Amino acid sequence: MILPSILLLVAHTLEANVECGVRPLYDSRTRYSRIIGGQEAELGEFPWQVSIQENDHFCGGSILSEWWILTVAHCFYSQELSPTDLKVKVGANDLSTSSSVELQVNIIIRHKGFKRLNMDNDIALLLLAEPLTFNELTVPICLPLQPAPPSWHECWVAGWGITNSTDKESMSMDLMKVPMRIIEWEECLRMFPSLTTNMLCASYGNESYDACQGDSGGPLVCTTDPGSRWYQVGIISWGKSCGQKGLPGIYTVLANYTPWIEKIAQTEGKPLDFRSHSISDKKKDRRKNQSSKSPAPSCPQSWLLLCLLSFPLLRALSNWE
């Protein structure tokens, strides 16, 4: 059969030439009306996003490589949770679809410095039992630029969490997205005296709308210029409200942990090559997209009830109320 052979060749080519932070399916399509404002994410819009499940979805995560999933430590605070109890669903927007790929977890690695009291060092890695296959719906996210740019063009979070803060049963089976703005650390410290330098704050820029962060463990991703590659800046960690008090969400600062990630990956015999996308890539992306004009995301009033916190995050927040 010629057709299956061609498809296999294309799949192998995609896997061999995969780049982090790109969206081959999403960016190749002509979209006449882009979904904006805390609505459903489009297919292939966040190809690094994964659902971590124990029977059902309970935390988010992101793809770092064919072997590694990045998430937060507090999702695995329970000592009773075994890697064999977990599965990672990749390449899906709709969790109810049977077309997505499910992978088993071999090892859960929480940061040894994780502190449950103040959520410091809230980061964890999952080593998959078998490598995932990259394609147009499954792509690794880029690790943070070093040094970080002075500002980001746009940032987003996405997740499958609850969509109504007063209804814990309002879990979404469809991947939802919200734009975010990173807040100055000193400004956030005034709102959260327990903030550490391993944390950053983000919220939606328009104070008339109160959008919450995505699933606990999911990525905060940003881009430097219109059409350029995406980098993970933070990991959704904790917060004090969800669409009620107008307070920002708290994220683990990923740039503080790239040496830790590299060390763990090497120790386990599955090293990462995340330094290949450095500040030079930022310059290349800027040159490539100098003529691109992409409007900033707008936000309808439907954002008022948007809240994508997962159950584990809500449990984690109970100590902060």
Whole-number Å distance between alpha carbons of 49 and 158: 8
**Euclidean distance between CA atoms 211 and 38, whole angstroms:** 8
Of residues 120, 122, 210, 281, which has the active-site annotation?
122
- pLDDT attached to residue 34: 36
71: Cβ contacts below 8 Å, ≥ 6 apart: 52, 59, 60, 61, 62, 123, 124, 125, 126, 217, 235
CA 79 distance to own-chain centroid? 24
Given the residues 62, 203, 216, 241, the one annotated as active site: 216
Whether 74 is a known active-site residue: answer yes
Distances (CA, A) of 182 to 64, 100, 238, 250: 22, 32, 15, 10
> Residue with structure tokens 């969400």?
249
What is residue 283's predicted lDDT score, i.e. its pLDDT? 45
| pLDDT given at position 31 | 44
- At 76, list the tokens: 């695995």
Query: What pLDDT sits at residue 29?
Result: 62
**pLDDT value at position 11?**
43
Is residue 216 part of the annotated active site? The answer reads yes
Nearest to 183 by CA among 173, 171, 174, 195: 195
Query: What is the separation of C-alpha 100 from the centre of its chain, rounded to a whole number of angstroms?
Result: 18
pLDDT, position 257? 98
Read off the pTM: 0.79
The predicted pLDDT at position 317 comes to 39
pLDDT in the model for residue 178: 86
Q: Report yes or no: 48 and 68 within 8 Å, Cβ to Cβ.
A: no
Residue ranges of the chain whose pLDDT lies below 70: 1-17, 29-38, 79, 162-172, 205-214, 241-246, 273-321
The pLDDT value recorded for residue 28 is 73
Place of tokens 């490589």: 65
Of residues 51, 62, 74, 165, which has the active-site annotation?
74
| Annotated catalytic residue 153 | no
Nearest 5°: the CA angle 25, 29, 30 is 165
Of residues 243, 201, 241, the one with CA closest to residue 220? 201
Note the pLDDT of residue 150.
86
Strands 101-110 and 87-90: antiparallel
